[in-house]
Structure 1
Amino acid sequence: MRRKTARRITAATAIVLLPAAGILTTAPAGATTAPGCAGLDQMKIPASVMSLPTSGGQVTSTAVMTSVVSGKIVQYCQVDADIFPVDHTAPAIKMRVALPYGWNRRAMMFGGGGYDGSIPDVTENVPFGPTNEPAPLARGYATFASDSGHEQSPTALPSLDGSFGMNDEALTNFAAGDALKKTRDASLFLLRNAYQEQPDEVYFAGGSTGGREALDVAQRWPTAFNGVISAYPAWNNLAEILDLGYLAQILSQPDAFPGPDKQTLLYNSVISACDGLDGVKDNVVSNPDACHFDPRVLRCPDGADTGPGCLSDAQIAAVTAMSSPFRWPYPVASGETQYPGFPFLSGSDMRTPFLGFGTTAPANPMPQTSGYGLQYWDQWVKYFLTRDPNYNSLAVDPRNPGEWLSRISYLSTIEDRNNADLRPFFRAGGKLVLLHGAADELVSPRSTNDYYTRVRTIVGAQETDASLRYYVVPGANHANFGTPAFAASWDSLTALENWVEKGQSPSNPVVADANHNRTRPLCAYPEWPRYRAGDPNSASSFVCAR
């Protein structure tokens, strides 16, 4: 039986106003699992129901939808609404709520990705979600999400428009996560009015920027969500941006950028050298910490670029820098001092379309064929740092930022969501499932290793193990994008439900490869799956090892 969680519905959500405002003070006897869709149309959302400053909000449209979700026909009420800013020059937060017929009295908020700028698909599954189980909406969840407080330009590449950073309120809505709580509060207000009842449980799931947002809600509002799924989280966003800027400078140097042929050479060489370190050859590096590939074995004669079959000295230096920690020689206000580098010498693939490092060296202006992270840096310099859309991002040196140091330090306070003291969340009953692919080419899994270690240090091993599980998936990349060596598929949501609602912690989970007919044990970090004997496509043939 699921426990009621009325204590998690804050006073800001349950505040009593005049009946004309449409706010419910308690769940009446007529609570239902069928949403009152028509009654929500054009409903005003009072500013008082949100715990952070806004100018209120309003429903802009409602529609009864019938869609196929996870192979099931689902009927739901789609509610679109705007949350109005305090600063009249800032954009509104655009949000969407999906209210199913046959509501299971649970709610799920989805996080975004990149610079956000669009409302995530509220019919989607959780990150690394199972291919053989329904998405939350198809399970009967009410789902909701927002664009985090700005709409990206229709001409921009998906999630790569940072122009909203020119406005302070829009910046804090996105980077500091203020839009998350505003969206959560407004969505629960609409949900209560639709069903005449509050949800028993409220969950959050997101990956990348959404993974940072997932950690942010646990850090900042420990009673707002019962459980959180955070996948490949870009939690130390400013730290990673500084590393990306450093790499942009290196890769822009003459002959330093390894083109697609060189990227293929490097990846194949790493796999060949490290694949069998886990006991079986399966094109997956399951023990990346044991992989110490030296790119100098691919050196061209005399270090000059003589073709696709070798790396020049400049390319070896660039690949080594990409795979190594970047430390900056000055303090920033968040307290971060370094970013651990990317695992390109232990199994990551630079060639991943869009999310990899691209086919073109960074330049000014930044080519759209450069990697996602390099374009992310370019947008950040133009709109977050200098607030000059014409600024040459390659002119900013993260090792010696000069006049920009104070601004970098300020931005670290809102972009590095690095409070590892999760005791308030855990002691409120919250549970956290943390996931990362070992071959992530955009957000380093080493960074999440660091965050997890910080939590254990601050919270303690026993209390951490009681409320947090962290899994690194060998061969999995960023968001299963392109054709990863291992396309992770695991029903983390059911595992989280059982933990939160029944007190049953995850036990011996198994992750499937959605692109191949094989499974692996999902090992809690720092363990990894080592082959022992039997069918190499079966999880039962592996044991979690240290």
Structure 2
Amino acid sequence: MSTKMRRFAVLAAVLVTGTAFGAGPATATASHPAAPECAGLAQLGIPASVMSLPTTGGRVTSTSVVTSVISGETITYCQVDADIFPVDQSAPDIRMRVALPYDWNREALMFGGGGYNGTIPDLTANVPFGPADKPTPLARHYATFAGDSGHQQSPTAPPSLDGSFGVNDEAVHNFAAGDALKKTRDASLFLVRRAYGTDPAEVYFAGGSTGGREALVVAQRWPSAFDGVISGYPAWNNLAEILDLGYLSQILSRPGAFPGPEKQTLLYESAVSACDGLDGVRDDVVSDERGCRFDPHTLRCPGGADTGPTCLSDAQIGGVIAMSTPFRWPYRIASGETQYPGFPFLSGADMRTPFLGFGTTAPANPMPVTSGYGMQYWDQWVKYFLTRDPDHNSLTVDPRQPGRWLGRISYLSTIEDRNDADLRPFARAGGKLILLHGAADELVSHRSTNDYYERVRAVLGPRTTHAFMRYYLVPGANHANFGTPAFAASWDSLTALEHWVESGQSPGNPVVTDTTHDRTRPLCAYPGWPRYRSGDPDSAASFVCTH
């Protein structure tokens, strides 16, 4: 059913009966729905039948009316917390939350998570690379919802780095295969119907990193479940990246191979200096990432030994090259993936935020919390997903020669690599997809997102792909605007998606803002990038998208 037809059906149900799909307010109108029935949701049971995947139902655990200032707007909403119960009674519940605003705009948006998840995302937050000068979805009177993906993080673990749920099969499928996404979506829309007496006219999804993978999961697996999707810096080939992270953990754990923070800064500044002007202006942003040909050997210490922070030893150069080079494994895995393309540390990546990339200390056993995020992610995966032995030394598992672990790796690849490039069902359902990535991402390689986009284009063809999908690569932007990126990306992708879904108006000549440096750039559809022509180098009007 088209968007217009869905709108008409929902409006007709409300005007004729006053309610739809269950108990709800009888005074709702098309333009101004009545306040949500918050008190009536308390302890409400959620039938298993409203969810398309197996559960044993669920229950609302708490409700409260909240008034808060969000994005400068005073918003009153009903916050509903609920649990979805597993089939396997030893598996954790899925914990979820819904924010139901007064004066609802008849739209709903689900947020994705990050890392290993384990907590419910902030329902008052913005979409990935969202606009700093515009209201967040809840402040726009969206009904927002999210879940913890089916497990609860230990309070003593670093944020989003607790993989201990991996010992349970149902929990793994909820998280890695995305089963919890559909269960949470179905339960949340059940609560929306009960609260307002009607369905949303449109339902959107937005997430970055793990949430970006989740955005692609819903488009791949449930093509009619969401009208529009925003996928930021997606870790879609999660198992493939994990193997690369394991390989890099071993390389960087070797004596003398780890470059400390001072050497990381040296590498970053040298790479930017070498490649900054390729786009026609020196602005500390490498726009022509593919054209960058920085050679780390130019930083080699005399004789190759480590002589201090002004150069790299041979061992450190080897580690740097390993991080920026595709990692290929000499065996087959069931997902069909054969390699991970490496991280763009030699092409303008922001070494000023080392936690996401190298970290500040070398990988070791036990894995330090000061090592890179990816190395800690690998460590948790080995202990709980692969070996299911929390005492296992992750540095003893060699991704190049996994030995007895190969079968388990291959099996997990079918769950964790969400690599279906055939998005024709999503396109036929009228879905629209905006894909975003920063070219200086330290944690999820933008080269991997390039690869996924090219796969979709190869399957669907350029014209069909262009009709429902846009991919924007943002020069200088890092992972989730973490720390102090060279370009802190800000763009109102949600409004662009709304116009595309609801009126057929595709994004046209979008402009992205750098909120740190008060400048703008054209947001170029991949494989385009912004080249400077003339005029104010802080203005997008001075640039043109080129290939």
Q: Report if TM-score (shorter chain) is over 0.5.
A: yes
Q: Aligned residue for 1:533?
A: 534
Contact 2:25/2:37, CA 8 A, preserved across alignment: no
Deviations 1:288-338 (A, max 9, x none): 101010000111111111111111111111100100000000000000000
Paired with 1:137 and 1:531, the residues of 2 have a C-alpha distance of: 37
2:343 aligned counterpart, secondary structure: coil
Spell out the pairing of 1:65-464 with structure 2 (5 A cutoff). 65-464=66-465
Specify whether residues 354 and 8 from structure 1 end up closer, same or farther in structure 2 by C-alpha distance, changes over 3 A only.
Answer: farther
2:409 aligned counterpart, secondary structure: helix
Deviation, 1:4, is: 4.5
Deviation, 1:351, is: 3.8
Deviations 1:384-426 (A, max 9, x none): 0000000000000000000000000000000000001000000
1:471 aligns with 2:468: no
Paired with 1:237 and 1:536, the residues of 2 have a C-alpha distance of: 38
1:60 aligned counterpart, secondary structure: strand
Paired with 1:311 and 1:352, the residues of 2 have a C-alpha distance of: 19
Paired with 1:523 and 1:234, the residues of 2 have a C-alpha distance of: 22
Contact 2:20/2:198, CA 8 A, preserved across alignment: no
Q: Aligned residue for 1:24?
A: 21
1:104 aligned counterpart, secondary structure: coil
Deviation, 1:33, is: 3.5
Paired with 2:25 and 2:128, the residues of 1 have a C-alpha distance of: 35
Deviation, 1:194, is: 0.1
2:4 aligned counterpart, secondary structure: coil
1:3 aligned counterpart, secondary structure: helix
Spell out the pairing of 1:481-500 with structure 2 (5 A cutoff). 481-500=482-501
Deviation, 1:469, is: 0.3
Contact 1:436/1:448, CA 8 A, preserved across alignment: yes
Q: Which runs of 5 or more residues in structure 1 are unaligned?
A: 10-21
Paired with 1:178 and 1:164, the residues of 2 have a C-alpha distance of: 15
> TM-score under structure 1 normalisation?
0.96
Specify whether residues 351 and 518 from structure 1 end up closer, same or farther in structure 2 by C-alpha distance, changes over 3 A only.
Answer: closer
Paired with 1:210 and 1:108, the residues of 2 have a C-alpha distance of: 13
Paired with 1:445 and 1:217, the residues of 2 have a C-alpha distance of: 20
Paired with 1:436 and 1:428, the residues of 2 have a C-alpha distance of: 25
Deviation, 1:354, is: 3.0
Deviation, 1:526, is: 0.2
Specify whether residues 90 and 539 from structure 1 end up closer, same or farther in structure 2 by C-alpha distance, changes over 3 A only.
Answer: same
Paired with 1:142 and 1:92, the residues of 2 have a C-alpha distance of: 23
1:175 aligned counterpart, secondary structure: helix
Specify whether residues 516 and 285 from structure 1 end up closer, same or farther in structure 2 by C-alpha distance, changes over 3 A only.
Answer: same
The one-letter code of the counterpart of 2:426 is: F
1:289 aligned counterpart, secondary structure: coil
Paired with 1:426 and 1:247, the residues of 2 have a C-alpha distance of: 37
Contact 2:427/2:468, CA 8 A, preserved across alignment: yes
Contact 1:434/1:471, CA 8 A, preserved across alignment: yes
2:521 aligned counterpart, secondary structure: strand
Q: Aligned residue for 1:17?
A: none
Paired with 2:20 and 2:467, the residues of 1 have a C-alpha distance of: 37
Deviation, 1:356, is: 2.5
Specify whether residues 27 and 224 from structure 1 end up closer, same or farther in structure 2 by C-alpha distance, changes over 3 A only.
Answer: farther
Paired with 1:89 and 1:537, the residues of 2 have a C-alpha distance of: 56
Paired with 1:299 and 1:367, the residues of 2 have a C-alpha distance of: 28
Q: RMSD between aligned alpha carbons?
A: 1.6
2:290 aligned counterpart, secondary structure: helix
Deviation, 1:30, is: 4.2
Contact 2:284/2:486, CA 8 A, preserved across alignment: yes
The one-letter code of the counterpart of 2:422 is: D
Paired with 1:313 and 1:191, the residues of 2 have a C-alpha distance of: 59
The one-letter code of the counterpart of 2:447 is: R
Contact 2:81/2:95, CA 8 A, preserved across alignment: yes
Deviation, 1:29, is: 6.0
Paired with 1:130 and 1:231, the residues of 2 have a C-alpha distance of: 14
Contact 1:30/1:196, CA 8 A, preserved across alignment: no
Runs of 4+ in 1 over 2 A off after TM superposition: 1-9, 22-33
Contact 1:109/1:143, CA 8 A, preserved across alignment: yes
Paired with 1:38 and 1:414, the residues of 2 have a C-alpha distance of: 39
Paired with 1:250 and 1:232, the residues of 2 have a C-alpha distance of: 25
The one-letter code of the counterpart of 1:164 is: F
Q: Which runs of 5 or more residues in structure 2 are unaligned?
A: 11-18
Contact 1:8/1:223, CA 8 A, preserved across alignment: no
Specify whether residues 365 and 527 from structure 1 end up closer, same or farther in structure 2 by C-alpha distance, changes over 3 A only.
Answer: same
Deviation, 1:24, is: 2.7
Contact 1:208/1:234, CA 8 A, preserved across alignment: yes
2:104 aligned counterpart, secondary structure: coil
Deviation, 1:427, is: 0.6
Paired with 2:511 and 2:521, the residues of 1 have a C-alpha distance of: 6
Deviations 1:338-367 (A, max 9, x none): 000000000112341532311100000000
Deviation, 1:5, is: 3.0
Segment drifting more, 73-82 vs 347-356? 347-356
2:192 aligned counterpart, secondary structure: helix
Contact 1:70/1:134, CA 8 A, preserved across alignment: yes
